[in-house]
Amino acid sequence: MTGDTATELELEPTRTCSTARTSPDEGADTTQAVKVDNRALWSLLAQHLSSSWGARCYEFASYLFLIRLFPNTTLQPSIFGFFTTGAAILFAGSVGHLVDIYPRLRFVRGSIVAQKATVGASYAIFLACFLRLEGGRHTSALIGLFVVLTLLSMLLNLATIGISVAVERDWVTVIARGDSNQLTRLNTFLRRIDLLSKLLAPLFVSLLTTAASYTFAAAFLLGFAAGSMVFEFIWIEIVYRRLPVLAGAPTKATTAAAEEDVTALPNDSMPPRPLLRLKTRLIAEIQNWLTFIRAPIFFSSLAISLLYLTVLSFDGSFLAWTKAHHYSDAFVAGMRGIGVVTGLLGTLVMPLLEKKIGLVRAGTWSIFSEVVTLIPAVLAFFVKPPAEGKRGSALTDALLFTGMALSRIGLWSFDLCQLKELQQALDSHPEKNALMALQFSLQNVLDLVKYIVTIILHRPSQFKWAVVISFASVTAGALSYLVYARKERGHLVHLEWTEALLRKTR
């Protein structure tokens, strides 16, 4: 193929797989391998890096700034997290529905504007609050600003979900065009960017606050949000223009059917137009949930959602526990960094596992490896547990942080397996993005349960019971995935392995 042909601007077929695959646990079906235009690929990765970096910075900075504004209490940060997560539970499905019905480029652009506008407004409010604090005018107006910050954070979370569903689920699947290896490659690139942002963004925010001040940090992050919006517009435009396959319009089949059901009512029974739209949306939402629950992929989605109900990760509740037991910030940062590195190792393990044993079995091995490696971390809270207000022993630290670090390999390997399963299972569904967004809702439900658990078990001495609940949830996720694997493969264990083993022992 010559360099002058227009097809180089999209996906170029390069070869045909020589071996057909017939089993779900042996890989994808026979497909044509495709090549992604390099400039489009780098633009996609740059846009995702900018979006992920901004989201991770705000995720860390927002709680850090709230603690600065409301010291000596966890009430405001808990309320902030509760409502932000609750918004995702209620409206993630509707966001996914918008991905299905709006043109791809228009929706992503609108989501970028919404994301940057809400995060910019939030940083502006934080900046104003810090200036007020420096002037010694800390008034009750702070409570009103906290309410506005919470509302903005809810909108920001929905905008971020919109970008994630549109780009990571829809665009990536379309770009891969049925090539299983290309889909794995794209997913892996995006997940590595997520992990690096998760590691480096909090360190960057901490550097701003310690080397300069909270006021400077808020101002700098505000400027970054404004500037990054311009570049993300350019990058996403390049991706869309250089890959014409993305110009295909999303289907509106399910939405149209729901609208017909409502508009078929007699004229005298027709509700006012706002109520009509609400009823149409509710009917579509219920239909989507029923479709999602009945689909075989649901048990895979439930499995990864159950992994969100855990305190054995470097989130706010675990960090609060480490601070209560006097672990230094440098030590915790180091352990968090090791966890991210092992998570990156998981993104290397997953493609190798998939090629060796197939996608579904790779998911089984990954999630059960997470269960096994978390056992030492759980034991750390019962075998010579740290005394209240004191740091744990060397044995406790070794069990806890080694177990948590090793579990990241299985976690992120399973995350990639499950993402690909979801993309492939819903690829041809007319409301695929609405259904994919429901997994975000399910994940946030379990995340919300975690907040409830840590609010009830809020004392450091009670944290071990939250750990037990977390381990039970991860184990339940592994069992849920077994249900999915059994449905997909028709079995869980290859009987020929058992028969061969019995023949050898005779």
Regarding predicted confidence, which is higher, 74 or 438? 438
Question: Looking at residue 319, what is its pLDDT?
Answer: 73
- Residue 198 tokens read as 């998760």
Q: Which amino acid is at 174?
A: V
- H or E element: which one contains 156? helix 141-163
Do residues 59 and 181 both lie within one domain?
yes
Q: Which has the closest alpha carbon to 164: 328, 20, 51?
A: 51
- Is residue 381 included in any domain, yes or no? yes
Number of structural domains found in the chain: 2
Do residues 386 and 487 both lie within one domain?
yes
Query: Which of 223, 250, 277 is the C-terminal boundary of a domain?
Result: 250
Instruction: Please write the tens of the pLDDT for every residue from 288-299.
Output: 788 888 888 889
- H or E element: which one contains 122? helix 104-134
Is there a contact between 423 and 435 (Cβ–Cβ < 8 Å)?
A: no
Q: Which has the closest alpha carbon to 419: 332, 337, 305?
A: 305
Give the range of the structural domain holding residue 170, as residue numbers without chain letter. 36-250
Do residues 426 and 492 both lie within one domain?
yes
> Where is average pLDDT lowest: 156-160, 175-179, 258-262, 482-486?
258-262
Q: Is the pLDDT of residue 67 over 50?
A: yes
Instruction: Please write the tens of the pLDDT for every residue from 238-287.
Output: 999 988 888 865 544 444 444 444 444 445 444 556 666 666 767 777 88
- Is residue 8 included in any domain, yes or no? no
CA–CA–CA angle 182, 186, 191 (5° rounding): 145
Do residues 71 and 181 both lie within one domain?
yes
- Residue 399 tokens read as 């069990």
> Where is average pLDDT lowest: 184-198, 262-276, 335-349, 358-372?
262-276
Q: If you average pLDDT over every residue of the chain, what do you get?
A: 79
Do residues 116 and 236 both lie within one domain?
yes
Q: Is the pLDDT of residue 6 over 50?
A: no
Assessment of whether the complete model's pTM goes beyond 0.75: no
Do residues 243 and 313 both lie within one domain?
no
Separation of alpha carbons 368 and 25, rounded Å: 16
- Is residue 318 included in any domain, yes or no? yes
Q: Which residues pair with 424 in a beta bridge?
A: none
Q: Is the pLDDT of residue 5 over 70?
A: no
Q: Is the pLDDT of residue 390 over 50?
A: yes
Do residues 174 and 95 both lie within one domain?
yes
Question: Looking at residue 331, what is its pLDDT?
Answer: 81
Question: Looking at residue 10, what is its pLDDT?
Answer: 38
